[in-house]
A and B are shown apart, each in its own frame.
Chain A
Amino acid sequence: MTDSRRGAWSLLLVLLLFAGSGLVGCGGSSASGQAVVTVLGPWTGDEENGFLAMVRGFEKRYGIQVDYTGTRDAGAVLASDLKDGNPPDLAVLATPGELRQDAAAGTLSPIDGALDPGSMARQYGPGWLQLMQAAGPHGARHYYAIIVKAALKSVIWYDPRRLPARDLGVLTSPGLTWGQLMTLTAGLRAAGTSPWCMGMQDSSSSGWPGTDWIEDIVLHQSGAQVYDRWVAGAQPWTSAPIARAWQTFGQVANPPGLVRGGTQAALVTSYGVAGQPMFASPPGCYLDHEASFITAFYARDKLGGSSGPGARPRPKADFDFVPFPPLASAGRGTAEVAGDLLGMFRDTPASRKLIAYLTRPGAQEAWVRRPGSGAISVNRLVPLGDYPDPVSRELAADLTGAASVRFDGSDSMPQVMESAFNNAVLEYLDSPGQLNVILHGLDQVRKAAYEPRTPAGP
């Protein structure tokens, strides 16, 4: 064999071996190269499905995959992600307070570039647009989040079929007052059934259903001005209006027989299932103070009595709502609301496209149209006819047409204040005699929580 032939054989062998080793190594899968937007949020179960339905059109239209992670502890997970320097592209912020903090710290990216100001003004009311904005690291205000869905908080739920007819008439009469409501609940208790359903438990932020109670009482007892000062940290917790609101809440929660199972049961009952006894036969309780999103939970409950196995409560027929009644003339005409804010932590073209897409009525319709979703859009261009039931339509009309709204107070406070408020409610239910100690403790937190920056209103 000549040298050249030997060289050719050697080359062939080497090539064959390379080809062989390549065959061995080709077991892994390659990335598809498709753009991905990662989203972290608190929505799980049906809510998660609602959001995924919302983004399906986006994925189809732009060919960008939305990788959503849903956990009830999204706040803690986001904090951990930020600490590790690896946040998701977009995340639902727990509160406007968190939005302001992250915007000021520069961890959130402004989204002005993704939004058309003219179009936004046509679609959203001024109050909602203000909620989407915050001051950046240099003090200039920008859009930092969009409201994916919203909720009306100042409502009381009841089952029209199970509430005694006389009480139903009182509850649904126009101009229902707090005094009438208290008389009604006293009558129900005297008849042998606790009037109020109540549950304080919710994963890592238990206690907020109680803060909703106190916020509604402050708003409807002392008015929006006191509410704004309180939320902004300028109204002490020990001041008369706030202490009175706590005591009023105590008059609902603490006396034996007013809350189903007593406060001990309320402490360990999840807010999502607290209203279930309303649909039992006979009912375990009659009234439930919950935000509008509770309809998604009601829709999964079971009806008791002769409704047949597996029958589910239906809007209007089995659950309906009345507005939270005013406790004083100063508290008329204002409703408490809340919303899920989606902010951008990684500024990418795909993230901006998704932000812009989610503000549009077409995207929001995809979620609110789902029966039993409990989702309400604050986009004025979403037709009321898109809502699947009369209760949702009424809630949407109230939410978008409200003359005066205030965002959830605890959500608007600095995070540490919100957390202290949640825990204070739990402590109060556990030890009502400690109210003064609790309020003084909250004032101590207030001083530290609001000190570093100028108080900001909702």
Chain B
Amino acid sequence: MAASAARPPRRQSTPRRLRRVLAVILAATALLWIAVTILVQGQHGTVQAVRDGTSPALLDAVGAHAALSDADRAAWQSFRSGEAQLIGPGQQYQNDMTTANQDLERLAALEPSGGPGSQQLQTVSGQLVTYQGLVEQADAAKRADIALGTASDHDLGYAYLTYASSSMRDPQGGLLASIDGLAALDRRSLGQQLTSPWTDPALLLTAAAAGAGVLASIVAARGFLLRRFRRVISPPLLAAAALACGLLVWLALVTLPADAAFAAARDTALPRLTGSWQAQIRAVDAEAAALRANTAGHAPATSGGLNVTVTQSASNALDADLAAAGNSGGLPFGIPVLAVAIAGLACLGVKPRLDEYRR
């Protein structure tokens, strides 16, 4: 202090420099706060959009496709086996239609109103009514043919069921093609989200850079205090540096496993689930084609339709991955608390020196 008193001009510049040092630490802390917040919010928002929006929408569309494919197979199975005489298209058909309707209702709730998906859903809704109407006509015609006995040369019920199948499976604008169009829209959105930079672990480097800025500003402050006030250790600044390091470690411990879970959902669980649906769709489509082609009237052996157990386990795995990816580990609350604590400790570390100049 005596040396400072001997050089008046420098006594005026030291408080200013102290304030500047403090300002740099606070600015770096604010930047760290912002960088980490953006990182966590961006990652969390992406995972949430996938988990609550595009992923279920895609899976509902694929599930509706599978259920409808199986409904067609079940209706043919019922007609070919002769069960239709008593139970129409059959219980499995009814179950599949209920499942498809539920899938489409959920999908409608997820699609933004007025968007292309919403318009496509209206098309699907109309086509679904047409398909069900044709199956009902097939059932009625089948019963009428049975009532006519030998007066009927053929079986109009099969003809109507053929129309129903065609309206469903027409690759150009049929019901399934429309649902696939919906799935394609969701797949495109999902693809963009799955490759979002927010879930790239490399983004952690940004937060690390911001953290390094805080540490550098604290080290610089400590150097200044050492030169000007011969203070080797400033406990508040040391604690602030420790908190900044702790925040970065916490961030890494939360973000890296979340990114890994998201990558697992993207690269493994989701393809496995959609692949499982696609395989089942191919199987029931092949069965339906065989049943349609089997004009001899004997139903070929069938696999019994969709295997929900297989898709359920794949669905559970996807849910688990997305839940892990969405785990923010308390960071949304911890970040502001730690940032404020770092700022406060920095103030505590510098304030006593500033006070010396106010006496």
Q: Which residues of A contact B (CB under 8 A)?
A: 1, 5, 9, 12-13, 16-17, 19-21, 23-25, 27, 38, 40, 44-45, 48, 67, 69-73, 76-81, 84, 86, 200-201, 203-204, 206, 263-264, 267-268, 270, 423, 426-427, 429-434
Q: Nearest 7 A-B pairs (CB), nearest first? A: A77-B126, A80-B126, A44-B172, A44-B173, A267-B159, A20-B34, A71-B173
Binary interface profile of B, 21-48, with partner A (CB < 8 Å = 1, else 0)?
Answer: 0110011001101110110011001100
With A72-B174, A73-B130, A201-B162 known as contacts, the answer to whether A24 contacts B41 (CB < 8 A) is yes
B153: CB under 8 A from chain A? yes
Q: List 29 A-B contacts (CB under 8 A).
A: A5-B19, A20-B34, A20-B38, A21-B41, A24-B38, A24-B45, A25-B45, A27-B42, A27-B45, A38-B119, A44-B172, A44-B173, A69-B123, A70-B173, A71-B127, A71-B173, A73-B123, A73-B126, A73-B127, A77-B122, A77-B123, A80-B125, A206-B163, A267-B162, A426-B156, A430-B153, A431-B145, A431-B156, A432-B153
Complexed CA–CA distance, A81 and B120 (Å): 11
Mask, B77-99, CB within 8 Å of A = 1, is: 00000000000000000000000
Q: Is the CB of B153 within 8 A of A431?
A: yes
- Establish whether residues A203 and B122, one from each chain, have CB atoms under 8 Å apart when the complex forms: no
**In the complex, how many angstroms separate the beta carbon of A373 from the nearest chain B beta carbon?**
15
Please report whether the interface of chain B is mostly helix, strand, loop or mixed according to DSSP.
Answer: helix
Contact A430 B145 (CB under 8 A): yes
CB pair A16–B31 under 8 Å, yes or no, is yes
User: Which of chain B's residues have a CB closer than 8 A to the CB of A44?
Assistant: 170, 172-173
Q: Which residues of A contact B37 (CB under 8 A)?
A: 17, 20-21, 24
Is the beta-carbon distance between B167 and A72 smaller than 8 angstroms?
A: yes
Q: Which residues of A contact B38 (CB under 8 A)?
A: 20-21, 23-24
- Inter-chain CA distance A430–B148, complex, in Å, is 11
SS class, residues of chain A in contact with chain B:
helix
CA distance in complex: A19, B31 (Å): 11
Question: Given A69-B119, A72-B167, A81-B126, are A431 and B172 also a contact pair (CB < 8 Å)?
Answer: no
- Interface residues in chain B, defined as those with a beta carbon under 8 Å from any beta carbon in chain A: 19, 22-23, 26-27, 30-31, 33-35, 37-38, 41-42, 45-46, 116, 119-120, 122-123, 125-127, 129-130, 133-134, 137, 141, 145, 148, 151-156, 158-160, 162-163, 166-167, 170, 172-175, 178, 196, 198, 347, 354
* Chain A residues, CB < 8 A from B347: 1
Name the A residues within 8 Å of B123 (CB-CB): 40, 69, 71, 73, 77
| Docked-complex contact A263 and B148, CB < 8 angstroms | no
Rounded to whole Å, the gap between the CB of A230 and the closest CB of chain B is 25
Once the chains bind, are A84 and B163 in contact (CB under 8 Å)? no
Question: Are the C-beta atoms of A84 and B122 separated by less than 8 Å?
Answer: yes
B112 to chain A, nearest CB (A): 10
Q: Once the chains bind, are B34 and A19 in contact (CB under 8 Å)?
A: yes
| Nearest CB of B to A280, in Å | 20
Give complex CA distance A80, B198 in Å: 41
Q: A5 CA to B19 CA in the complex, in Å? A: 10
Q: How far is the CA of A423 from the CA of B221 in the complex (A)?
A: 90
Please indicate the chain A residues that have their CB under 8 angstroms from the CB of B354 in the complex: 1
Q: Quick check: B126 and A78 within 8 Å, CB to CB?
A: yes
Task: Give min CB distance, A299 to chain B, whole Å.
Answer: 16
A5 to chain B, nearest CB (A): 8
The answer to whether B166 touches A270, judged by C-beta atoms less than 8 angstroms apart, is: yes
> Measured between alpha carbons, how far is A22 from B27 in the docked complex, in Å?
19
Docked-complex contact B30 and A12, CB < 8 angstroms:
yes
CB atoms of B167 and A203 under 8 A apart: yes
Contacts of B41 in A (CB 8 A): 21, 24
CB contacts (< 8 Å) of B198 on chain A: these are: 27
CA of A78 to CA of B156, assembled, Å: 28
Residues of A within 8 A of B178 (CB): 71
Say whether A1 contacts B19, CB under 8 Å: yes
B222, chain A: closest CB distance, angstroms: 19
Report Cα–Cα, A154/B159, bound state, in Å.
26
Q: Which residues from chain A contact B167 at a C-beta distance below 8 Å?
A: 72-73, 203-204
Q: Which residue of B lies closest to A254 (CB)?
A: B153
- Which one of B22, B23, B119, B152 lies within 8 Å of A430 (CB-CB)? B152
Q: How far is the CB of A107 from chain B (nearest CB, A)?
A: 16
For B170, what are the chain A residues with a Cβ–Cβ distance below 8 Å?
Answer: 44, 72, 203
Distance in angstroms from A54 CB to nearest chain B CB is: 18
Contact for B151 among A21, A40, A81, A433, CB less than 8 A:
A433
A317 to chain B, nearest CB (A): 27
Within the complex, what minimum Cβ distance (angstroms) separates A258 from chain B?
A: 14
Q: Apart from A76-B127, A267-B154, A430-B159, what are 20 other A-B pairs with CB-CB below 8 Å?
A: A1-B354, A16-B34, A19-B34, A20-B35, A20-B38, A24-B42, A27-B45, A27-B196, A72-B167, A73-B173, A73-B175, A77-B125, A80-B126, A201-B159, A203-B130, A203-B167, A204-B133, A263-B154, A432-B153, A434-B148
Shortest A261–chain B CB gap in Å is: 11
When the two chains form their complex, are residues B33 and A17 in contact, meaning their CB atoms are under 8 A apart?
Answer: yes
Determine the residue in chain A with the shortest Cβ distance to B37.
A20
- Taking CB atoms, residues of chain A closer than 8 Å to B175 are 73
Specify the chain A residue showing the minimal Cβ separation from B120: A69
Cβ distance B357 to chain A, nearest Cβ, rounded Å: 13
Q: Are B126 and A431 in contact (CB under 8 A)?
A: no
Residue B130 contacts which of A17, A76, A432 (CB distance < 8 angstroms)?
A76
